[in-house]
Structure 1
C-alpha cells in the first residue's frame, strides 16, 4: 500500500503540470442535503478530471527508451483524455484504447490531442488489446493499478485535507479504485477519524463485488457511466479500500443523472454522472450516520456534454 510520503512526493513531482483545484463550501448543496457540504472541484482540473494527475506522474517516470517507444492506455473516457493531453505536452507518443461506449466527445479530445485511438466493442476487449500492445514495447499507463498513479491521485485528498474546514465524512466515486485508494491514504494521514465512503453505480459494482468476495472478481458492466466502468478492481486498490474505506454505497444510473441535474441547479456545477452519483449516495450516508455531519464531496470530473445529459435525462424520464 502507498503511504502519505508517496502522496507528498507525487505532489512535488506533478506541481507545475496540474492545477491545485478549488475547495469550496457550497451553500446550495448544504441547503439541499441539510448538512454542511464542502466540495473539491476536481472537474476544474486540466483535462476536466483528476486523471491528469496520475497520467502526469507516470509519464514523468519514463526513461528515454520508454519515451521513445511510447505509451498505451485503456479508458472509458477521462483517463484517455488525461494521458493523451499530458503525453502531448510532454512529447510522448500515446495510444489510447477505448470501448465504443465511451463518450464521443472524449474520443474527439483524445484524437485532437494527437494520440492514436483504437475503438473496441467492450471494456474487456480494450484491456486485452492493451496487453498485446504492451508486448510490442509500449509502456502501460494503467488507469488505477499502479502505485505511481494512485499516489498522484492521492494529491486530491492531500489538497482537500489542507484546504477544507472540518470534515467528518468524505464521498469518492469508484471505477477501478485508484482515486479512492489515494484520497483515503491522504485523508486518513492528515485527518484521522474521517470516514471515507465509496460510490458506485449498480451496473459497475467492481469494488462492492471485491469487498463481498474478499478480493477482485470480474463484474458484468451495464452502467451508462463509462468513466466508472472497470471490469474489476485490482488487488492493490482492493487492499486500500478494504483497509481505509468505511463502506461502498451503490446508486442507480438514473440517480446518478439526477445528481448531475441537482449539482447544476443547486451548486452551479456542471459535472458528469461519475460525480452526480455522489448526491444520492450522500443521502444514504446521512441516513446511516445521523446528525453532526460535515460532508466532503470529491467532484471528480465534468466531461459530459449538454447533449449527453439531455439524452440520459430523457431516457430516465427526469426533469
Structure 2
C-alpha cells in the first residue's frame, strides 16, 4: 500500500500556487453557536470554479507531458470535477472533453461548455466512466477525478492549508465522493497534525466508501443520492487504502439532512453550499455525540455549485420550506 506523502502534497502546493486560491480558514461564530462547540470552516466553495476540484485538476494538468497536453484531456464528472477541468484546461490552452451523467446539474453542464469543453452526456455515472475510459483508449489523456496520486496530492493542499491556518482542532470532517479529497486531507493532517481525527461523510445512495470498508475493498454501488457531486459508482483501491489507514470512520447521512445542512450553513455561516457540503452538519452532530463537548471541529466546506432553483426544489421535496 503506497499512500501519498506530505512531500508530494508540498510539491503539489508549489505547483498549483498562482493557479488556485488559498481559501479562507475562519472561525465560525454562527456554527459554533449552532453546534455548541468551536467550529472552524475551510471555505473551499470560494475556490476557483466553486469547489476544491480546481486543485487536483490543475495539479494533474501541469504534470502532463507536451504530447499528453496536445492530445487533449478527458474526465468523467458528476459536476465539479468537470467544471474544474474545463476551466483549468482553458486557462492552460488545452482542449477538454467532459463526460457527465444526465443527472448532473444543468448549471455544471453549461459552465463546462461555456469554458470551451466538449460535454458528453450518458444515462448513468457508470456509463460515464465507461465512455471516458473508451475515449482515453482512443487517444485523449485521462484526468481521473480521484484515482490518481497527483490529483490526491493536489486535493491534499486543502489539508496543508488547514493545518497551517486553523487554531487547535480535535476533529476534521470531509465529504466523500470517490475519496480524493478526504485521502489528500487525511494524508496532510496525519503528517502535520497527527492527533487530529479525520471523519469522512457520505450521503445515503452515494455510499461507495462505507460499503467498500465493509467489504474490505472497492465495490460497485447503485447511486441514488441527489448529491451528484458525491455519486461515484465505486471508490478506487488507492482512495480505499488511504481512508482505511487514515480516517477514523465514514458517516452516512440522509439526503434530507444534507439539504437541511445546506440551509443551516446559509443561515448560520452565511455561505451558500451544495448538499455535498451540507452533509457535514448532521455528521458533525454525531461526531460531537461521540467525542464530547470538548470537540473543536474543522469543516472542509467543499463546494457551492448549487442554484437557488436546485435548493428550492430539494427543500420542497423534503418538506424543508
Q: CA deviation at 1:183?
A: 0.1
Aligned to 2:202: 200
Length-normalised TM-score, structure 2: 0.99
Runs of 4+ in structure 1 off by over 6 angstroms are none
Alpha-carbon distance in 1 for matches of 2:196, 2:62? 32
Aligned to 2:81: 79
SS state at 2:168 partner: coil
Alpha-carbon distance in 2 for matches of 1:126, 1:108? 17
Match of residue 244, structure 1, among 239, 246, 250 = 246
Length-normalised TM-score, structure 1: 0.99
Alignment of 1:130-279 (within 5 A): 130-279=132-281
Alpha-carbon distance in 2 for matches of 1:316, 1:171? 24
Alpha-carbon distance in 1 for matches of 2:13, 2:88? 16
Output one character per residue of 1:46-65: Cα deviation in whole Å (capped at 9) or x when no partner.
Answer: 00000000000110011111
Aligned to 1:104: 106
For structure 1, the 5+ residue unaligned runs are none
For structure 2, the 5+ residue unaligned runs are none
Contact 2:197 2:247 in 1 (8 A): yes
Contact 2:102 2:122 in 1 (8 A): yes
Relative to structure 2, which stretch is displaced further, 284-293 or 179-188? Answer: 284-293
Alpha-carbon distance in 2 for matches of 1:202, 1:289? 23
SS state at 2:82 partner: helix
Aligned to 2:283: 281
Q: CA deviation at 1:290?
A: 1.2
Q: CA deviation at 1:291?
A: 2.4
Alpha-carbon distance in 2 for matches of 1:243, 1:67? 34
SS state at 1:76 partner: coil
Output one character per residue of 1:88-130: Cα deviation in whole Å (capped at 9) or x when no partner.
Answer: 0001100000000000000000000000000010000000001
SS state at 1:19 partner: coil
The number of aligned residues is: 319
Contact 2:146 2:239 in 1 (8 A): yes
Alpha-carbon distance in 1 for matches of 2:272, 2:265? 7
Alpha-carbon distance in 1 for matches of 2:65, 2:187? 28
Alpha-carbon distance in 2 for matches of 1:217, 1:224? 20
Match of residue 301, structure 1, among 299, 303, 306 = 303
Aligned to 2:97: 95
Alpha-carbon distance in 1 for matches of 2:69, 2:152? 21
* C-alpha RMSD of matched pairs (Å): 0.5
Alpha-carbon distance in 2 for matches of 1:19, 1:83? 16
Alpha-carbon distance in 2 for matches of 1:63, 1:91? 14
Output one character per residue of 1:28-75: Cα deviation in whole Å (capped at 9) or x when no partner.
Answer: 000000000000000000000000000001100111111111000000
Output one character per residue of 1:194-253: Cα deviation in whole Å (capped at 9) or x when no partner.
Answer: 000000001100000010011000011000000000000000000000000000000000
Output one character per residue of 1:167-211: Cα deviation in whole Å (capped at 9) or x when no partner.
Answer: 000000000000000000001111111000000001100000010
